[in-house]
Structure 1
């Protein structure tokens, strides 16, 4: 993978993805915007200057790597993974359910294989997110969550 794509996470500016069906996560990280959105049957990760993201990845809902909250712990969280040339960009959204004043948190972890390359947290106070965005989009495409297999399945919900 081009190292410039990983380094693009550190440059200032803002991105804007097409969020037709909903936003999973929107925030700024070191002055740049991160948008993770659902449009049609795809989920898009965009990071970079406004209107011209330096990195934009799109996955069909059916192929998306999804880590939903297990129901354990004080933080409710959810993560979505986007693959690109040996790297995975895991966008996450969370909040402390025992401290409502703490607000939403989010960010992205970049991995090469299983090794963490970098972890970037959203700037404080910039996080907007919706946990139900992915679940509603998947249901609209005929998928439901199968907790036994820890994945979405189509039909038989």
Structure 2
């Protein structure tokens, strides 16, 4: 296993709990409110985080395992119709995220040393390895968690 991946996997393992706690502490009347004009709601950020593993990151781990030189394109929330994340059941999606994230971690733990050293082709990265991908997933999680916290507890939208 890649020598520096354990802290990243441990942090990724905590994301579902942090997301669940954030959502449970925020006034539910804010979930679908467009707090920032033209930007995603709390609901959309939360369901996007909870669905990202299934929508691409797990497949990427499988490709690192099965392909000699995997190739990836950008994953984006804009790849889905405009209300896709808003129409997902927030409670169920967040609840399922615990299992989904554990599957992602299990996929990562199944990689061999050879898999960890593979470099993929990625349109947005000069270098893209399983380690870089998982670190990016962690940064992605925390970027959206920050936005959820800011919209849920910030005073800018309270008048």
Q: State TM-score, norm by structure 2.
A: 0.24
Q: Using CA pairs under 8 Å that are at least 6 residues apart, name the structure with larger relative contact order, 1 or 2.
A: 2
Query: TM-score, structure 1 length as denominator?
Result: 0.24
Work out which of the two has the higher radius of gyration on C-alpha atoms and give 1 or 2.
2
Structure showing the higher helix proportion among its residues? 2
